[in-house]
Amino acid sequence: MRRWLAVPVVAVAVAALGVALSTEAKGIVLNGSFDDDDGHLFEADIDAIAAVGITKGCNPPANTQYCPDDDVTRGEMAAFLRRALDLPHVSTDHFNDDNGSIFESDINAIAAVGITMGCNPPANDRYCPDDDVDRGQMAAFLRRALDLPRVSIDHFNDDNNSIFESDINAIAAVGITKGCNPPANTQYCPNRKVTRGEMAAFLRRGLDLPSVTQRIPVGDHATMTCAKDGERCSLNVDLSAGRSYRIQEGVFQVQPASTSEHNRLNSSNTSFSLDLNGASVPLVELDQETSSGVTTRLWAAHVQFSSGTHVLVGRWRWNGQLIQTNTIVVTAQLTNG
């Protein structure tokens, strides 16, 4: 549990009573399953597929990173799909160019159920595990994996000459893809490579996984830049527009010197308030937490941001006195996909 002293003037006033007052920010994130996607447009999607075991990370054995901006290889694609569909491993070796690949078992598993046919038609005795996956190929993988019906509606104007047009329209019809040129989304960009972040979004939508709600840090010193004139901190974050975000914060009092002081200076003297673009955000008070004699009061809210720039201001008070202010400038952007 991270703790830090409040503004010196408050600490002095309380010290006379033998108590040290501290505050703790509970909205510690934009760091979910991995430490290299904090604030990334696809972080919630990445956390969603990590939560169900579809991805393990990109830097084994530590697997503390996801590498969201790296392109997806065909080998990685096989692993994503095998885990997503919980396909059994098979003994049949379908291709002659994946021997020694760490993804050979995954490749054989998706080949056994017809998700891949190979990369060198008509022979199709190779899989090309190290080649990058483009958005057209990805559509074919997903249409076969999810057994989606083909549709007659043409969703995009830039895939008319693509051999994957039918696959693209099929995944668009069920909302797996929105397009690649928001907000118009009239194009799909079939020849563009798929990043690991985009792949997470495709899989989350295709499997209808619950989005892991990102929390926004309103008072975490580890990620904020604080001025020297007391506890006035600021932070800039980039988020996805239209997604739900959780804000959870708390203020608590460190153990007092005696029971009588605890009664006089307990957690009921603390409060937290939040403004979004100058308007008060309704907060729900959560169950209090008590550990080692310290009681923490917690508040939470869920907010959504429209595209553009927004300002969040969190304020902590003790006994009516302002002890900390944190300002977060949020840039919300529409995502590709």
pLDDT tens string, the chain, 337 residues long: the values are: 222 222 222 222 222 223 333 444 443 333 457 878 766 778 878 888 988 899 989 999 888 899 999 999 999 999 999 999 999 999 999 999 999 999 999 999 999 999 999 999 999 999 999 999 999 999 999 999 999 999 999 999 999 999 999 999 999 999 999 899 888 999 999 999 999 999 999 999 999 887 666 667 666 544 555 543 445 677 777 777 776 677 877 766 545 555 554 444 456 677 889 999 999 999 888 777 777 666 677 787 878 888 899 998 888 777 777 777 888 888 888 766 6
Is residue 274 within 8 A of residue 300, CB to CB? The reply is no
| CA-closest candidate to residue 300, choices 249, 232, 241, 251 | 249
DSSP class of 83: H
Is residue 74 within 8 A of residue 119, CB to CB? The reply is yes
How many helices and strands (H and E) does the chain possess? Answer: 8, 13
DSSP class of 132: B
> 74-85 and 196-207 helices cross at what angle (nearest 10)?
30
The two three-digit tokens of residue 312, written as one number: 């969040």
**How many CB atoms are located within 10 Å of the residue 188 CB?**
27
CA dist list (Å): 139 to 191, 299, 329:
11, 42, 36
CA dist list (Å): 211 to 76, 92, 201, 208:
22, 36, 10, 9
Is residue 128 within 8 A of residue 74, CB to CB? The reply is yes
Tell me what pLDDT residue 12 has.
Answer: 25
The two three-digit tokens of residue 60, written as one number: 């084994």
Cα–Cα dist 161/184, whole Å: 21
The two three-digit tokens of residue 96, written as one number: 């002659």
Burial class (CB in 10 A: 0-12, 13-18, 19+), 211: middle
In single-letter form, the type of residue at position 53 comes to G
Cα–Cα dist 309/331, whole Å: 5
Tell me what pLDDT residue 159 has.
Answer: 96
